[in-house]
Amino acid sequence: MKLANSKNTREVILFYIAIIGAIAGAIWTLFLWVNDNQPKPSLKPHLKVHSKIYTNIKSIEIANDGTGPAVIKNAKFCRNTACTNNIVDLFKIQNIKYDTFTNLNRNSTIKNDTSKILAKVSESNTNSKNTLRDFEAQKAGISVHIEYTDIEGNMYGPLNIELK
Residues 95-149 pLDDT 10s: 888 999 998 999 999 999 999 999 999 988 776 778 889 999 999 999 999 999 9
Q: Which of 12-16, 30-34, 124-128 has the lowest mean pLDDT?
A: 124-128
Instruction: Kindly report the pTM of this predicted structure.
Output: 0.72
Interior angle at CA 143, CA 73 and CA 72, nearest 5: 15
Q: 36 with 51: CB under 8 angstroms? A: no
CA 125/CA 34 separation, integer angstroms: 59
Q: Where along the chain do its domains lie?
A: 1-38, 47-162
CA 57/CA 135 separation, integer angstroms: 10
pLDDT at 14 over 50: yes
SS3 70: strand
Please provide the average confidence, as pLDDT, over all residues in the chain.
Answer: 88
pLDDT at 13 over 90: no
